[in-house]
Each structure stands twice: as C-alpha cells, then as structure tokens.
Amino acid sequence: MNIYILQNYFYDIFFNTKNYFQLWLIGFLINILRWSEIVITGIIIFKITNSPLQVTLLLIFRFLSLMSFSVISGIIIDKYNKKICLSTSLFLMTLISLMFYFLSKLDINIFILQIYSIVSGLFWAIESTVRKSLIIESIKKENYAKYISLDTFTLHLTRFIGPLISGFFYEYYLLSYLFIFATFTYAISFLLSTILKYNKNNNNSSSNNINYNLAAIYKIILKKKQLLLVYFITIIFNIWAYAHISLLPAIVEIEEFYESKHISYLFCVEALGSLISILYVVIYDNYKFYKSYYIIGTVITLICSLLFCFSTNIYFTYFILFISGIGSGLFSAMQTILVALYAPTEYKGSMLGFLNLCIGFATIGFLHVGILSSLYGVKDAIYVSSIEGLIIIVATLFIFQKIAFKF
C-alpha cells in the first residue's frame, strides 16, 4: 500500500464519514488525559506510601466505578438520546475537574486522588460506551474493523503520549496542573460533542417497545455463545494479563537496574507494540482472523507477563513489554469489533456497556496482585497471576472449543 493510497484511505475514514472525526478526536483527547492520570497518580501514591497495594487500590477505585456503572450506562444510552448523554457527561467532568484543581491547591493527598479516580471511572463508563455506540451507528457493518480498529489504535497511541505528559507534570512538581489539563480537555471535548450531527430519532424507533433491563441483557448474552466467549476472554485478560503493567511503577522503584525516568519509557514501549499490531489490523483487514487475533493476543500478553518476572536488565524488559504490547493491541482491536458484530442492533449500547463491565473486572486483578505483592513481593505476585491466567485461558478455550475455533 503506497503513501498516496494510504492518504486517501485515512482521508475517507476521517472526513467522509458523518461524526467520525469528532468522535475520534474526543476519544484521542480523553484517553491522553486518562493515561496521564493513571501513570502520574500511581507514581505519587507510591512515593507517599511506598506501598504497591496503595498503587493498585487507586486503579481499583477507578475500575470498580467503571464496572459498577457500565451496564446501567449502556441501557440508558440505548433508551435515550446518545448525543445528549455524551455532552452532559463531558460538561459535568469539566466542572468536576476544575473543582479538584482548587482542592489540590489546598492539599494533595491520597484521599483527593482516590475520589478523583472514582469519579473518572464513572465518567469512563459513560464516555466509552456512548462514544463507541455512536461510532458503530455512523458506519456500515462491513467497515467495523477499519473504523473501530483505528479508534483502538488511537487509544493505544494515547498510552504512548499520556505517560510522556505525566512525566512532565511529575518532573516539575505540577500535579495540581494535571486538573487544569483535565478541565481544558473535557471542555474542548464538550464543544466537539455539541457539533455532532445526530437526529434525536436515531435511537431505534421501536425502543419504547423494547425491554431494556438487566434480565433481558443477560438472557441475550447467554443465548449468543459467541458473545459469551468474548466476554469470558475479556474478563480473563483484565484480571490476569495486566499484572506486570499495573505494578510497573513499583518494579521501577524496587529493581536496582531501573531509574525513575524509565517508567515513562517502559509504558511507551508497550504502547508502541500495541500501535504496530493495531495498525496492521486497520490496513490488512481480514474477517476470518478476528477471533484468532483476539485469542492469540490474550495468550501472548499472559506469556509476556510471565517472562517479565525473569528480566534482569532493562533491555530485556523493553523487549518483553514491546511484545506484550503487540498481544494487547490484537486483543484490544478485536474486543469492540466482535461485540459490535455479534450484538443485536437495538442492544448494541447495552452490550458495549456489558463489555465495559468485563473490563472492570481488572479491579479484581489489581486487588489480587496487590495483595500477593504485599505478602510475597512484586515479582512473585506477577508470576503467580500470570500462571493462573494461562491455566484459565486454556481451560476456557477447551470448554468453548466448538465456537472458539470456528470461523
């Protein structure tokens, strides 16, 4: 694919598809902020407490709130105007971020960071679900892979940019200005959301006759085995595959061959691997391999998490995290696509909300590895978590083998 064709390819995606550019840009801005927050608050908490458990608790608060509100937010956006849901949430987060800026000027402590993580997680549940639902509504089914993978590519690009920005805030002791950065990011995103071209009748005309409740959602999931498998693998990935990433700030502080500056570089290398694998999916789209990418990506990430425990130098760590990023990218690129393909049209928002619920199971993983690290040490905790994950993914694929290997 030459440069000219590639330029036309991306121009068509961004500018010839209604609303896609605005929705993509909102995701780009919000996720830069999200990853900046996650990295810098984790470093600050560890500096204050010297406790890996406290670092994981911060992530737990964020993901627990994501988990608790995801399905409800999916039901809400299926039933009501999606544009209003997105704009309202962005406007509220603008005001909340400004409030936290003034609080941080008085005192920066663990409590403030924990509360902000909870609020950010609640917003994540709404933003992610409604924005992806709007993207799916704006494109044809045959273009799901191209458009959704590009959005996922952008998410992982922000994992590269976010840590670099957080490094700047941390190096110059400007944590309170992170909230100013958040305020402006949400404000710009809010303005972008107001120019979306959205017909209030875009939500299914028959939505008043559709039973939007938890019982109906679970019934659909249990009936559609392909969808059930996607959710199971998502839960496995988020509980066990991120152990080495969640404890990366603690590892850098503990191991002698790391320096503090390495933390941002390590996150960036992992994100770079993700970018490469997702870009491959965007450009070389092949429906036959969607499920394979999803499964292989999960296994690769778990194996890399295990190998991470045996690293004794920075260069091997860079290599492992790069390969881990490739696996994570394949997994991430496929999860939303597969849900979009398998979910009934009138329930796509609810099914995406349930996907976020599964992502929220990372809370259990963070708690699990945090407790293990406090009892046995950081590397042993990652080792145990990785072994557990590999055993469970093999068992899951064996149970679902009839649909896992059917394409």
pLDDT computed for residue 16 by the predictor: 67
Domain contains 206 = no
Q: How many domains does the chain have?
A: 1
Query: How far apart, in whole angstroms, are the C-alpha atoms of residue 283 and residue 281?
Result: 6
Query: How far apart, in whole angstroms, are the C-alpha atoms of residue 257 and residue 142?
Result: 48
pLDDT computed for residue 257 by the predictor: 58
For residue 407, what are its two tokens? 């394409």
Question: Domain range holding 180?
Answer: 16-201+211-404
Q: DSSP string spanning 204-239?
A: -TTGGGS--SHHHHHHHHHH-HHHHHHHHHHHHHHH
Residue 161: which of 59, 322, 35, 319 has the closest Cα? 35
Domain contains 265 = yes
Domain contains 379 = yes
Domain contains 11 = no
Domain contains 10 = no
Q: What is the pLDDT along the chain (407 residues), one digit of tens a residue?
A: 455 555 666 666 666 677 888 999 999 999 999 888 887 777 778 777 777 777 778 877 888 888 888 888 888 888 888 889 999 999 999 999 888 888 877 777 788 888 888 888 888 888 888 999 898 888 888 788 888 888 888 887 887 788 778 777 766 556 667 788 889 999 999 999 999 887 655 555 444 555 566 777 888 888 888 888 999 999 999 999 987 777 777 777 666 656 666 777 788 888 889 889 988 887 777 777 888 899 999 999 999 999 988 888 888 889 999 999 999 999 988 998 999 888 887 888 888 888 988 988 888 887 888 788 888 888 888 899 999 999 999 999 888 877 665 64
pLDDT computed for residue 344 by the predictor: 85
How far, in Å, are 114, 323, 364, 377 from residue 374 at the CA level? 20, 27, 15, 6
Helix %, strand %, coil % of the chain (to 5) = 85, 0, 15
Domain contains 304 = yes
pLDDT computed for residue 205 by the predictor: 46
Domain contains 3 = no
For residue 227, what are its two tokens? 């969808």
pLDDT computed for residue 407 by the predictor: 47
- Determine contact, residues 170/44, Cβ cutoff 8 Å: yes
CATH number of the domain enclosing 132:
1.20.1250.20
Query: How far apart, in whole angstroms, are the C-alpha atoms of residue 345 and residue 366?
Result: 33
Domain contains 8 = no
What is the SS3 assignment for 30-97?
HHHHHHHHHHHHHHHHHHHHCCHHHHHHHHHHHHHHHHHHHHHHHHHHHHCCHHHHHHHHHHHHHHHH
